[in-house]
């Protein structure tokens, strides 16, 4: 399968100074589900290079905050953003909350985390599910009641198991494939309310 580097959304992202084309997925989800609001505190998992943080930063404004975590360095520097380079498997979120004097739970937890893809789609999907479970666990511990959780997942049989897990924990649960998702990609996103 070929990956189109120079597609419409990649060019649009460059023109609009976003760090990645992924921004248009979050924008679409936000428009559809009214996810983000002014003054929100948002935890962004798998945040590098930083386009979701850039988008969120504008919406939450100066009194809002985004805590971005990624294995790789987050390239964007935002005055309402905290960039953490770490593996979410190893990060102690409570220590981060204490370090940055964060005293409230998040209004939204968003995860665009994705494994490095291999030639084996079953392996990729299993890794994607592991990351989703990690994101869900973070949401369960650090999201406020009625907060929102968005999670990207690679489609496949196990995705339905993950969806059921989300349904058991949230009042509402939706699955959605943004238009800007690559045609060759197996991913879709869920938007949920705790």
Ligand X SMILES: C[S@@+](CC[C@H](N)C(=O)[O-])C[C@H]1O[C@@H](n2cnc3c(N)ncnc32)[C@H](O)[C@@H]1O
Determine how β-strand 187-193 pairs with β-strand 143-154. antiparallel
Task: Name the active-site residue from 34, 37, 152, 167.
Answer: 152
Residues 19-48 that bind ligand X (CB under 6 A): 19-20, 22-23, 46-48
Question: Two tokens at 108?
Answer: 């939204």
Q: Is 69 in the site for ligand X (CB under 6 A)?
A: yes
| Per-residue buried b or exposed e for 119-139, using 16+ beta carbons within 10 Å of the residue's own CB | eeeeebbebbbebbebbbebb
Q: How far is the CB of 145 from ligand X (least distance, A)?
A: 25
CA-nearest of 127, 111, 97 to 46 is: 111
Per CB under 6 A, 114 contacts ligand X = yes
Q: Is residue 70 close enough to count as binding ligand X by CB under 6 A?
A: yes
Return the range that interacts with ligand X (CB under 6 A); candidates 106-114, 140-148, 161-169, 175-183.
106-114
Distance CA 60, CA 65 (A): 7
Active site residue 152: yes
Positions marked active-site = 152
Binding site for ligand X (CB under 6 A): 19-20, 22-23, 46-52, 69-72, 87-89, 112-114, 131
């Amino acid at each position: 399968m070929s990956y189109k580097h120079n597609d419409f959304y990649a060019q649009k992202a460059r023109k609009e100074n976003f760090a990645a084309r992924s921004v248009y997925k979050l924008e679409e989800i936000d428009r559809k589900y009214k996810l983000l609001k002014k003054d929100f505190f948002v935890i962004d998992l798998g945040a590098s290079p930083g386009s979701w943080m850039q988008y969120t930063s504008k919406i939450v404004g100066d009194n809002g905050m985004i805590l971005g975590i990624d294995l790789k360095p987050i390239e964007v520097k935002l005055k309402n953003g905290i960039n953490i380079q770490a593996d979410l498997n190893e990060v102690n979120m409570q220590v981060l909350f204490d370090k940055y004097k964060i005293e409230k739970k998040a209004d939204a937890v968003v995860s665009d985390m994705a494994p490095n893809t291999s030639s084996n789609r079953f392996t990729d999907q299993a890794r994607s599910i592991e990351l989703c479970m990690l994101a869900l666990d973070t949401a369960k511990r650090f999201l406020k009641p009625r907060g929102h959780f968005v999670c990207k997942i690679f489609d496949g049989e196990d995705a339905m198991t993950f969806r059921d897990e989300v349904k058991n924990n949230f009042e509402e649960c939706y699955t959605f494939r943004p238009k800007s998702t690559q045609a060759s990609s197996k991913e879709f996103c869920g938007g949920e309310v705790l």
